[in-house]
Chains A and B, each alone.
Chain A
Amino acid sequence: MVIELVGGNVYDPTQNLSGEPCNIVIQDQHILSLTKGSFTNGSTAFSNSEPSGRAYAVDETFDLSGRIVMAGGIDLHTHIGGGKANIARMLLPELLAAKRATTEGNSLRDPLLRERGDNFLPPAPLVGRRYLEMGYTACFEPAMIAANARGTHAELADTPGIDTGAYVLLGNEEPLLEMLQAKVSQERINQYVATMVTATRALGVKVVNAGGISAFKFNARTLDVDQPHPRYGVTPGQIIRTLARAVDEIGLAQPLHVHASNLGVAGNIESTLKTVRAADGRRIHLTHVQFHSYGAAGPRGFSSAAEQIARALEQYPNLTIDVGQVMFGQTVTISADTMHQFSSRGIAKPRKSVILDIECQAGCGVVPFRYQNRRYVNALQWAIGLELFLMVNDPSRVFLTTDHPNGGPFTTYPHLIRLLMDHSFRETALAEIHPDARASSQLTGLDREYTLSDIALMTRAAPAKFLGLERMGSLAAGSVADVVVYREQSDWEKTFAAPSHVFRRGRLVVRDGQMIDIAPKVTHSVDLDLSIDKQATSPEALQQVMPISSDEMESQLGTPLVIHSGKNNSGR
């Protein structure tokens, strides 16, 4: 099957294209060619030739003149699997009740995919549908507990149409803390981390409140970066340093993801900057950094420290961030950070929560919450997120997330993109927030507007490169044929909310913002080419997880694997 997409204005930073009209030829699941210019004979079956001169027959042609064309979007941090969301669903059935039946998308025979009205925690089938209908084609669960790896992959397998993957949670499990306490060699830690990654079929490693989740089980209510764990004596800084080094040395393409200490606490910027320094120059990625960018200045003792994060990004080239933008409305916060979530129980709305200690490995805290623009703290959180986006000059080092569902649901991305691209719209929104928050924010002075190229870089090219997905996030020949076509509308929110076409692995799956088909999906994981003996698995890791085979992934859990090979990898 050969499809030709003719004359669309292509935004692809990997090919230095910023709106130039191009022709894209798709053959089966991959892009055959990308050429500048716009020419078609209007036929659905004509002969043409790719740059190499090889002839091909076109089965279908789409005239995309005037349309915006990008690669499929990639969300590198969205909680769409792994148990936490399910616990939240079980806690909040009254908020998640089906609201309305519509006829939209009823060409899809599966009732589980039918539109039910918006909510902040859609079930897996609707997660897949809604991401696709916004032009996202790959999404990654950032907090997979090793003991629940099978559950995570099974849930992600039931999220149709989009590629998925997960990062395994380390940094609070007893075997690692014991090894650090015993001061074992870095090589042994590396072996442990590598085994945990491969046994759980993860793509990366994340640490959440390093040591803090474990410390909470020993009744500690806070644990700062340089504070020793009450049982094991190691500090969060040591844990982060050791894991960041391990991630580097075992050859993962992406750095260690770090959910820093003291999430949500006024003045936590000091902990955040200490966390950056603790990495000792190793690559680290700070997740949902908006929640870690708080000062304690001003009459209310809560202020923005976004500027300090922006400066840290200039100072530390090893650092990347995703924002975790707050969006106003009802949501539910779900995090492995039980220490923080326990302390937030008092502000739950509605007044109920779940705090779980999990298998001496991690935890899970679920606290429903409503962000309100007329409340000072929430309003300032919203402003801080936008400040981060606008103060960081390089869009390839700041990723667009709401930390779904923690800052807000992923379905608000089109609104967020409009806030970034439309200064006057942002000013209007700013005028509606709590006046003291407005006054203490620097947002008023930031008139930067993201360009379409910036959006393509931040949501496509950069996350693909960051995650080591070389054939994704790009429209270059040989790339996976995930192509999204937007029709420019009266505002950017409408434009990004409903692509006119989404091609998923070469198949047209969305037309005019509605899913019409489902393409096969894969799970991205990594096979580490280790300097250590590949057969030498870590007993400490195997104590915690029974390894998942490729066959089990496909035949039992429900998705085939695409296995990447670590640094300088390529999907195979």
Chain B
Amino acid sequence: MEVVCPFCPLRCPATPLELTDNGLHIADDFCQLAAVRAPLAGQFLHDFHSRQTDWRDLVRAANQLITPADDSRRSLTVVKGTILDIQTARESVRLASRLKGTVDAFARASDRFSRDVREREGWVGATLGELHSRADAVLLIGTVDTQWPRLLRPGSSQQTRSLAQSEKRILRLHRRDEIQPKATVTVATAKVANEAEQREASIGFTSAEHLTRLLNEAAYAIRSGQPESNRLAAWLRNTQYVCVLCTGDDVDLLAVSALNRLIDLLNETSRAVLIPVSEAITFQTVSSWLTGFSGPIDFQQDLPRLMEWSEEPKCDTRIWLQPFPDCPPPPDDAAKLILIGTADDQLISRADVYIRTAMPGIEVQGTTFRGDGTIALPLSQIQDTKLPSASQVLEELAVPW
């Protein structure tokens, strides 16, 4: 069955996901990441943990733990976790508003940097369709294509491939310890070299500060009309439409800002775009249209308010969304835990209430945004396990008052 893949933010549209007696499988050569995550999710297809109890009874138990915040008793509930689909995102926001609690999607620190800079400075960007079809060059910062193995392969977006460059020029900016030292060049003042014309080249850096310096030096070389004096600038000079992707694991605010300015500069004479990819984008988009803010959102004043980002707010009760067993788990603290989704025994043992819900894109249909935003795709149901969806469960929580 060819479906939109739910396992990473690329959401490849024609993923051959197979359900057999032995579980859920995908051809190894299609995607290494999905080949690992699919069987893991498949193990839970026959999990009857929560079906031993009617899920509505579990909702009633969960409701016992939730008390809406009021002036007399400042109980706070946080709704958080991994949110893949529009339907769950909607109900997360609505539940938080009913509870006068807070809501957010789990996001990596790098997502935060990227979002902070974009809020402050704006950006020139694109979606993956432009990467596959229009771009003649790709600048990868960090381990982007290791993290998302199909990133550079045609078919991970749905665009026409008439213009697809069979071989794009690729430059990797990476930490020195990530690639063989021989392949790295750390001297920003390197003369223009033949490598700039090679299909794949790489430049190493040692820290976020070093990366910032590399980016700033390239911008300076371009601005001063001497791109040949800098290896990165020389490489960029020969591009017509360059897509920049960044995992963010190795960056900080200054590096992202420097990257943003470099892209701005390139757009004065050619085209350059940033493609931010984040699993949190579905929640952020839905939250934006429902509340005006992309999260984290606080409803304690009875109106949605944008919160300062923090590692994890202190709360009395945490409702944690875990669509797949290997999604990031909740922090281990004193808060009561209502776990919704699919979890292993170790995590289940921490939960005060665990409600096993259907895995989106496998056990239940839905709608999702691809990680680059703006592209909305359907998630399919491969097997009907009769489990409730996370959105159904959230809709039943704290209702009626």
> With an 8 A cutoff between CB atoms, is B235 at the interface?
no
> With an 8 A cutoff between CB atoms, is A158 at the interface?
yes
> With an 8 A cutoff between CB atoms, is A57 at the interface?
no
> With an 8 A cutoff between CB atoms, is A544 at the interface?
yes
> With an 8 A cutoff between CB atoms, is B375 at the interface?
yes
Determine how close the nearest CB of chain A comes to the CB of B380; give it in whole angstroms.
10
Determine how close the nearest CB of chain B comes to the CB of A18; give it in whole angstroms.
40
For chain A, residues 333 to 354, give those with C-beta under 8 angstroms from any C-beta of chain B.
Answer: 342, 348, 352-354
Question: Do A219 and B378 form a contact, CB below 8 Å, given A93-B119, A123-B291, A356-B125?
Answer: no
Q: Closest A residue to B85 by CB, please name it.
A: A556
**Which residues on the A side are within 8 Å of B241 (C-beta)?**
217-219
Other-chain residue from A101, A348, A360 in contact with B133 (beta carbon distance below 8 A): A360
| One of B71-79, B221-229, B364-372 contacting the partner | B364-372
> With an 8 A cutoff between CB atoms, is A452 at the interface?
no
Other-chain residue from B124, B294, B374 in contact with A355 (beta carbon distance below 8 A): B124
**Which residues on the A side are within 8 Å of B128 (C-beta)?**
359
> With an 8 A cutoff between CB atoms, is A55 at the interface?
no
Complex Cα distance, B376 from A545, in Å, reads 10
Are B290 and A112 in contact (CB-based, < 8 A)?
yes
Complex Cα distance, B306 from A354, in Å, reads 21
Complex Cα distance, B133 from A366, in Å, reads 24
Other-chain residue from A86, A93, A359 in contact with B129 (beta carbon distance below 8 A): A359
Are B130 and A556 in contact (CB-based, < 8 A)?
no
Question: Do A86 and B378 form a contact, CB below 8 Å, given A112-B97, A112-B304, A543-B158?
Answer: no
Produce 1/0 per residue, A83-108, CB < 8 A to B.
10111011101001110010000000
Other-chain residue from B94, B130, B285, B401 in contact with A359 (beta carbon distance below 8 A): B130
**Which residues on the A side are within 8 Å of B159 (C-beta)?**
174, 359-361, 543-544
Are B127 and A154 in contact (CB-based, < 8 A)?
no
Determine how close the nearest CB of chain B comes to the CB of A205; give it in whole angstroms.
19
Complex Cα distance, B153 from A124, in Å, reads 36
Determine how close the nearest CB of chain B comes to the CB of A333; give it in whole angstroms.
13
Q: Closest B residue to A231 by CB, please name it.
A: B163
Complex Cα distance, B158 from A150, in Å, reads 15
Are A111 and B97 in contact (CB-based, < 8 A)?
yes
> With an 8 A cutoff between CB atoms, is B198 at the interface?
no
Are B290 and A158 in contact (CB-based, < 8 A)?
yes
Question: Do A85 and B306 form a contact, CB below 8 Å, given A359-B129, A361-B129?
Answer: no
**Which residues on the A side are within 8 Å of B294 (C-beta)?**
89-90, 93
Determine how close the nearest CB of chain A comes to the CB of B303; give it in whole angstroms.
5
**Which residues on the B side are within 8 Å of A359 (C-beta)?**
127-130, 157-159, 374-375
Question: Is the contact region of chain B dominated by helix, strand, or loop, or is it mixed?
Answer: mixed
Complex Cα distance, B294 from A97, in Å, reads 12
| One of A141-149, A285-293, A302-310, A459-467 contacting the partner | A141-149
> With an 8 A cutoff between CB atoms, is B146 at the interface?
no
Q: Closest B residue to A557 by CB, please name it.
A: B367
**Which residues on the B side are within 8 Å of A91 (C-beta)?**
118-119, 122
Are A546 and B293 in contact (CB-based, < 8 A)?
no
Question: Do A111 and B98 form a contact, CB below 8 Å, given A86-B285, A150-B376?
Answer: yes
Other-chain residue from B158, B303, B305, B401 in contact with A114 (beta carbon distance below 8 A): B303
> With an 8 A cutoff between CB atoms, is A125 at the interface?
yes
| One of B173-181, B204-212, B248-256, B266-274 contacting the partner | B266-274
Complex Cα distance, B97 from A196, in Å, reads 37
Produce 1/0 per residue, B285-305, CB < 8 A to A.
110111111100001011111
Question: Do A178 and B302 form a contact, CB below 8 Å, given A86-B285, A89-B294?
Answer: no
**Which residues on the A side are within 8 Å of B302 (C-beta)?**
101, 111, 114
> With an 8 A cutoff between CB atoms, is B123 at the interface?
yes
Produce 1/0 per residue, B121-153, CB < 8 A to A.
111111111100110000000000000000000
Determine how close the nearest CB of chain B comes to the CB of A183; give it in whole angstroms.
16
**Which residues on the B side are within 8 Å of A481 (C-beta)?**
none
> With an 8 A cutoff between CB atoms, is B166 at the interface?
no
> With an 8 A cutoff between CB atoms, is A391 at the interface?
no
Q: Give the size of the chain A interface in residues (CB under 8 angstroms).
A: 66
Determine how close the nearest CB of chain B comes to the CB of A10; give it in whole angstroms.
36
Are B273 and A364 in contact (CB-based, < 8 A)?
no
Complex Cα distance, B125 from A214, in Å, reads 14
Are B374 and A83 in contact (CB-based, < 8 A)?
yes
Other-chain residue from A219, A543, A556 in contact with B87 (beta carbon distance below 8 A): A556
Are B306 and A97 in contact (CB-based, < 8 A)?
yes
Complex Cα distance, B307 from A97, in Å, reads 11
Determine how close the nearest CB of chain B comes to the CB of A223; give it in whole angstroms.
15
Q: Closest B residue to A551 by CB, please name it.
A: B365
> With an 8 A cutoff between CB atoms, is A175 at the interface?
yes
> With an 8 A cutoff between CB atoms, is A358 at the interface?
yes
Complex Cα distance, B128 from A174, in Å, reads 15
> With an 8 A cutoff between CB atoms, is B90 at the interface?
yes
Complex Cα distance, B272 from A216, in Å, reads 11
Are B292 and A123 in contact (CB-based, < 8 A)?
yes
Complex Cα distance, B369 from A528, in Å, reads 28
Other-chain residue from B129, B163, B288, B290 in contact with A90 (beta carbon distance below 8 A): B288
Are B374 and A352 in contact (CB-based, < 8 A)?
no
For chain B, residues 358 to 401, give those with C-beta under 8 angstroms from any C-beta of chain A.
Answer: 365-367, 369, 373-378, 401
Are A148 and B376 in contact (CB-based, < 8 A)?
yes
Determine how close the nearest CB of chain A comes to the CB of B280; give it in whole angstroms.
12
> With an 8 A cutoff between CB atoms, is A151 at the interface?
yes
> With an 8 A cutoff between CB atoms, is A552 at the interface?
yes
Other-chain residue from A81, A354, A356 in contact with B127 (beta carbon distance below 8 A): A356
**Which residues on the B side are within 8 Å of A83 (C-beta)?**
285, 373-374
Are B130 and A151 in contact (CB-based, < 8 A)?
no
**Which residues on the A side are within 8 Å of B288 (C-beta)?**
86, 89-90, 123
Are A154 and B376 in contact (CB-based, < 8 A)?
yes
Determine how close the nearest CB of chain B comes to the CB of A550; give it in whole angstroms.
14
**Which residues on the B side are within 8 Å of A364 (C-beta)?**
374
Are A93 and B98 in contact (CB-based, < 8 A)?
no
Question: Do A85 and B289 form a contact, CB below 8 Å, given A217-B241, A546-B13?
Answer: yes
Are A93 and B87 in contact (CB-based, < 8 A)?
no
Q: Closest A residue to B128 by CB, please name it.
A: A359
Are B292 and A96 in contact (CB-based, < 8 A)?
yes
Q: Closest B residue to A548 by CB, please name it.
A: B378
Are B133 and A174 in contact (CB-based, < 8 A)?
yes
Complex Cα distance, B13 from A348, in Å, reads 37
Complex Cα distance, B302 from A109, in Å, reads 11
**Which residues on the A side are within 8 Å of B133 (C-beta)?**
174, 360
Q: Closest A residue to B375 by CB, please name it.
A: A147
Are B160 and A149 in contact (CB-based, < 8 A)?
no
> With an 8 A cutoff between CB atoms, is A204 at the interface?
no
Are B160 and A178 in contact (CB-based, < 8 A)?
yes
Produce 1/0 per residue, A531-572, CB < 8 A to B.
000000000100111101000100111000000000000000
Are B293 and A96 in contact (CB-based, < 8 A)?
yes
Question: Do A98 and B304 form a contact, CB below 8 Å, given A83-B374, A112-B291, A123-B290?
Answer: yes
**Which residues on the A side are within 8 Å of B124 (C-beta)?**
342, 354-356
Other-chain residue from B120, B289, B401 in contact with A158 (beta carbon distance below 8 A): B289
For chain A, residues 59 to 90, give those with C-beta under 8 angstroms from any C-beta of chain B.
Answer: 81, 83, 85-87, 89-90
Question: Do A122 and B160 form a contact, CB below 8 Å, given A147-B129, A352-B121, A546-B377?
Answer: no
> With an 8 A cutoff between CB atoms, is B284 at the interface?
yes
* Top 10 A-B pairs, shortest CB-CB distance: A359-B129, A151-B376, A352-B122, A150-B376, A357-B126, A123-B292, A111-B97, A86-B288, A89-B288, A360-B159
Binding site for A on B (CB under 8 A): 13, 86-87, 90, 93-94, 97-98, 100, 115, 118-130, 133-134, 157-160, 162-163, 240-241, 267, 270-271, 273, 284-286, 288-294, 299, 301-306, 365-367, 369, 373-378, 401
Pairs across A and B, CB under 8 Å, 5 listed: A145-B374, A148-B375, A150-B378, A154-B376, A355-B123
Given contacts A147-B375, A357-B130, A366-B122, 5 further A-B contacts (CB under 8 A): A114-B302, A123-B290, A342-B267, A360-B163, A546-B378
